[in-house]
A and B are shown apart, each in its own frame.
Chain A
Amino acid sequence: MKKMFKRVVTVALAVMVLALAMAGCGGTTTDTNTPPAGNNAAPAGKVIRMTTAFGDTFDPASSMDSASCEVIVNLYDSLVYPDLDGTILNGVAADYTISEDGLVYTFTLKDGVKFHDGSDMTAQDVAFSYKRMMTIGQGYTYLFQGHIESVEAADDKTVVITLTETFAPILNILCRLYIVNEDVVMANTADGDYGEFGDYGTAYLTTNDAGSGAYYCEKYTINDRIVMKKFDQYHGTFHENAPETVEIINGTEAATVRTMMANNELEISDQWQTYEAYKALGELEGVETVTYGAGQMVYLMMNTRVAPMDDVHVRKAIAYLIDYEQVYTTLFPGYLPTNNYVGARLAGSDVSTEKIGYNMDKALEEIKASKYADALLNGEMAINVAWVSEVPDEEKLALLIQASASQIGLKVEVNKVAWATQVQNTASMETTPHCNVCYVSPDYGEAGSLIYQRLSMDTTGTWQQTEWLESEELNAKISKALATLDTEERYALYDEIQCEALDNVYGIPVTEQGEVRAYADHVVIPAVERGEASTTLGYNFLFKDFQVLDK
């Protein structure tokens, strides 16, 4: 027994020594297939590896976070999709017609659109995908709810979409109807909550894809990485230098990202690093950083239904307390100033009123005019500001407000919360914080998208709208605007709604996020090359248009 133990220990030690010896020699290996031990070799072929923060599943019927969108737009096709400048282009649709009353959209599918299993896409797949998404009832379902009466296959190539009423951004939201292969999904259902459809293939689509996009999922390891490969039978076109392999890696830890970039194990960073981290990444050899506006707004949301935030004077005071210039020059360099309630790059975002600016005297005046003045100024009442722990930069804004508030004798408590807790807290008026810092992305490139998310009754009690407005009058204005087909008239209505939101301080649009990425300089990112970025989440990462150049 003792001899056996000794042997085991000796073998273990020998293996460790041998391994370390091999590690030491690894950098001098001449075998081109063997990566050096010290770091991962620059891969053969055209590869893009990008870090992000995963949302775990890439099922297009239930995912809507930024990481999922960046993956899904490459795995799946939609009838139409947005170009970087917001123009709606044909996806798998060859063309479409709109009925005179604006209620019926008839799409004809392109010939030869293949799913990743090699089968042909039909109109029935489109109808099935819509039905599946609406039945599951998650993700982007809310965009379609109430607007679409039916999606039907008239024949193999013709899809007829009938609306309940006119809806101006219908083409924009159809970019979010991702088409799944009905046969593959139904062949891979498990027991579930959807009757004859079992689980509707949700478990299968967690680690597999059933799409027709430019890339197919070779392997997805949950919580770790998804490896996507170029789909040779893709109906569209690839750039000649497009990557053959794309790996999206879960992980935004600063030291890890920096190590990966330094060791040529990463081509594009995530967007969740701090300014300091990006600065360090930019100093690495062969690494550049870029900042672009993608329509994502940083709001200081306010619960307008609880004291003291139910008093517009208090809300105005907070708006006056923010040094906006400092926000986008010092706190978040590269972020953009905004006078609008929604991102200035969205169509129809122009606004005819002035946003409240930084003014400490006026902040104090507003507090004094408030019915809570005594309690607020003698410290009996405090205003809490929540920020999300997964986005460390948010704390800077919360602390800036706290520092400014202290100068006029206002007590501000800063609370760090996990994202899931934030989502949960905002589901009830009582637990929604007075203020919270939140990033909101438009679902499509028009002002109506953010207006709907931020101010509609439908989104009350979600993280997108913690104001608890529940105003039927405002809701009617939003519905009217979205149903107005005349562009100028619709934009005028957007303006009117934005003015109301700004004047009543339904949350503060602090700045437009400048999305920052560090990237290897042999990679060409279309948004960087063209100098314009998509405001529709995910569409800046259509990898078929990326280029991987020789180093």
Chain B
Amino acid sequence: MNFKKYLLKRLLLAVVVMIGLSIVIFVISRIMPGDVATMALGSTATEEAKENYRIANHLYDPMLLQYFYWIGGVLRGDFGTSTSTDRPVAMDVAEFLPATLELVVMAAIILVILSIVLGVLAAKYRNTIVDAIVRVLSYIGVAMPSFVIATLLLLFFGHVWKIIPVLGRLSYGLTAPATVTGFYTIDALIAGDIKVFFNAFLHLLVPAFALALGGLCQEARIIRNSMVENGSKDYLSAMRGYGVPEGKILRKYQLKPSLIPAVSCMGMDIASLMGNAFLVETIFNWPGISRYGLSSMLGKDLNAIAAVLLIFGLIFVIVNIIVDLIVAGLDPRIRLGGAK
């Protein structure tokens, strides 16, 4: 199988996954017990208002027809109206998604860089104090849920060592840059506002680190173990015998194959950051889509819940395709069909 076929297969599979996901999300949201109109309008709403809502939202139609109304709207970018915000869900998503994506991208950068650095250090200095420290940190990072880490970081940087802002996206008194991408850092650079850029960047660091910590500790251990295992391979001894510099051996011949198992895990972890972000967003007052999703769930805002879950699912699928492509790039056996 060549690379194009491999890519095509992955994309087709992604479409099937998304269709399945949309059906599951729709069915679950519609079979929830309780009167949807009452949930939407509140228990004090008049009967007339509830009846109008049922008619407007096709609630008397068969479930299959309701699904086609819904999915037709979704394909046009219309997720329906949020019952808690009284405006199109797409508008809410457009407002909140960039904040979470910015946080997740920063968390992903931290995750990738620190996991490789820690993994390589632990492998290079294996069975030394460095390895032991990385191991202990990894165990702590993996064992502690992100909301505990978030709370501890908040208390530490908010009360003990106030060198970095910990709440919200910008400090009080600063105005958010004009929206282009929705990423404050990028939008501030586009607007040429360096002060806002650095302030937004600093606000990202602690929540992103809290979000990334669990994943990076796990990946650091994987990279470390993988590098130790690959380090004892005969071909590396041969390289050394030919006089290839140690740095090049480490980067090109030891680290690269060692990254393959870690990259797969990183993909899953980075995709999971979206879902894991809701508690971190709550604790750090981060106005992102995960917190919006959480409040939608608590408020049983069905259209908003469906939209958030569908978007999370789509991001998960996209990230996994990207990871598969990276892995295929790192390991020719996969893209050439040698490994399935």
Contact = CB atoms under 8 A, between A and B. Distances in A.
B39 A137 contact: no
A535 interface: no
Interface in B99-158: 109, 113, 151, 154-155, 157-158
Contacts of B195: 34
B282 A251 contact: yes
Given A39-B165, A59-B86, A203-B88, A224 B287 contact: yes
B321 interface: no
B77 interface: no
Contacts of B276: none
Nearest to A424: B34
A259 B154 contact: yes
B50 to A, nearest CB: 8
Contacts of A260: 167, 285
Nearest to A202: B86
Contacts of B82: 56
A262 B88 CA distance: 37
Given A265-B167, A461-B43, A427 B173 contact: no
Contacts of A43: 172-173
A145 B33 contact: no
A57 B85 contact: yes
Contacts of B300: 420-421, 424
Contacts of A221: 95, 287
B316 interface: no
Contact of B44 (A49, A224, A426, A462): A462
A375 interface: no
Given A22-B198, A41-B173, A423 B164 contact: no
A259 B195 CA distance: 24
Contacts of A249: 285
B113 A9 contact: yes
A35 B287 contact: no
Contacts of A424: 33-35, 38-39, 300
A98 interface: no
B106 to A, nearest CB: 10
Contact of A23 (B53, B163, B174): B163
Nearest to A461: B43
Nearest to B92: A222
Interface stretch (A12-20, A69-77, A305-313, A316-324): A12-20
A4 interface: no
A262 B164 contact: no
Contacts of A164: none
Contacts of A463: 43
A487 interface: no
A38 B285 contact: no
A249 B300 CA distance: 22
A289 interface: no
Nearest to A16: B205
A67 B35 CA distance: 25
Contacts of B173: 33, 35, 40-41, 43-44
Interface residues of A, number: 77
B158 A137 contact: no
B53 A193 contact: yes
Given A37-B202, A137-B41, A62 B86 contact: yes
A40 to B, nearest CB: 4
B38 A427 contact: yes
Nearest to A137: B49
B45 interface: yes
B163 A138 contact: no
Contacts of A41: 171-173
A150 interface: no
Contacts of A426: 43
A319 to B, nearest CB: 26
A145 B159 CA distance: 51
Nearest to A39: B162
Interface in A261-292: 262-263, 265
A202 B40 CA distance: 14
Contact of B155 (A33, A59, A255, A462): A255
Interface in A222-264: 222-225, 249, 251, 253, 255-256, 258-260, 262-263
Interface string A173-213: 00000000000000000000100000100110111000000
Interface string B277-299: 00000111101000110010111
B59 to A, nearest CB: 13
A145 B34 CA distance: 25
Interface in B26-67: 33-35, 38-39, 41-46, 48-50, 52-53, 56
A454 to B, nearest CB: 14
Contact of B171 (A35, A258, A423): A35
Interface string A1-39: 000000001001101100110111011000001110111
B165 A57 contact: no
Contacts of B266: none
B87 interface: yes
A263 B43 contact: no
A162 interface: no
Contacts of A62: 41-42, 86
A484 interface: no
A37 B91 CA distance: 32
Contacts of B85: 56-57, 206, 222
B96 interface: yes
B212 interface: no
B201 interface: yes
B35 A427 contact: yes
B327 to A, nearest CB: 17
A530 B174 CA distance: 36
Contacts of B201: 15, 19
9 contacts: A22-B198, A37-B165, A38-B162, A40-B171, A138-B42, A206-B85, A224-B285, A251-B282, A431-B33
Give the 10 A-B CB pairs with smallest separation, nearest first.
Answer: A137-B49, A38-B162, A259-B158, A224-B287, A424-B34, A137-B46, A462-B43, A203-B87, A35-B171, A56-B84
Given A137-B49, A207-B87, 5 more contacts: A49-B172, A56-B86, A57-B86, A141-B45, A222-B92
